Amino acid sequence: MVNTKVKLCGIELDNPIIPASGTFGFGYEFAELYDINILGSLSFKGTTLEPRFGNPCPRIAECDSGMLNAVGLQNPGVDKVIKTELPKLREVFRKPSMANVSGFSLEEYVETVRKLDTVEDIGWFEINISCPNVHGGGMSFGTSPKMAETVTRAVRDVTKKPIIIKLSPNVTDIVSIAKACEEGGADGVSLINTLMGMRISLKTRRPIIANKTGGFSGPAIKPVAVRMIYQVYDAVNIPIVGMGGVSNAEDVIELMLAGATAVEVGAANLVNPYASRDIILDLPRVMEKYGIKSLEEIIGGAH
């Protein structure tokens, strides 16, 4: 009998699988397909202080071994999320969820977290300082260690719940940024967010995405994720939520060996809405194949 349980910032998960923000809506939509309580947790749709329509269309472009997206943090705003979306999630999901928060200023991050902090069934905050698809916010906070630390400290002051800072791979040195987040009081870091990319139409000779650039995700980015998780694990003493190109249970084991405590599944959910469920169901088989009795024992096992 294998043990798939892990502890993330003091909260026990039945398994390490967490659908990534932006790929799973607010969660309740997927409850129409299967019992989402099989999940370790879920990171619901990125939430901002004010409602956002997002970027103009087209927002999606297919790529070999992945996809580009520039949705632009479309969401109804934190007040409506609390009033309308989270009660729907509560009806179908009995576990703590992860609140993904984005902002365009320190004040926005702080106020959004302050409001969400009142929601009892939010277990963690995932602070997105790494979105490459918006202008004037998001990734601009995540490319500087000083700014990353400043955001972390500001949010830390308004909640006692665990804070996980979501890091961008679009930087020269992700390790220095992870260390700055730890210094600022982060309880964990999640990585990697999408890589910046572009597609050009041969017919129109113009970028396919209206935003011109978008976030590249999918199987092709997994080696980058593995490398960065490995590097960050060596540098910090806080848990890592790993993500990037995860499509199957073997990928989960690989990211955990690199140093991840939990693993988010992103683009795979958009290809197959049952992807997260299928990975969880297959984990015991893969663990037995490689002689793994407990997932907690293999975290950072490649070091």
Q: What is the pLDDT of residues 102-154, one digit of tens each?
A: 998 899 999 999 999 999 999 999 999 965 444 444 556 777 899 999 999 99
From CA 174, how far away is CA 244, in angstroms rounded? 15
Residue 240: pLDDT over 80: yes
From CA 268, how far away is CA 65, in angstroms rounded? 11
Catalytic residue numbers read 131
From CA 214, how far away is CA 227, in angstroms rounded? 22
From CA 86, how far away is CA 175, in angstroms rounded? 34
* Number of Cβ within a 10 Å radius of residue 65: 12
State both tokens at 290: 């490689």
The mean pLDDT value for 291-302 works out to 98
C-beta of residue 55 within 8 angstroms of C-beta of residue 210: yes
Mean pLDDT of the chain: 95
* Number of Cβ within a 10 Å radius of residue 1: 5
Residue type, 136: G
From CA 162, how far away is CA 188, in angstroms rounded? 8
From CA 79, how far away is CA 86, in angstroms rounded? 10
What integer pLDDT is reported at residue 135 of this predicted model? 47
What integer pLDDT is reported at residue 139 of this predicted model? 53
The domains located in the chain, with CATH, are 6-55+71-198+218-298 (3.20.20.70)
**What is the pTM assigned to this prediction?**
0.96
C-beta of residue 130 within 8 angstroms of C-beta of residue 138: yes
In the chain, pLDDT over 70 holds for what percent of residues? 96
What integer pLDDT is reported at residue 144 of this predicted model? 86
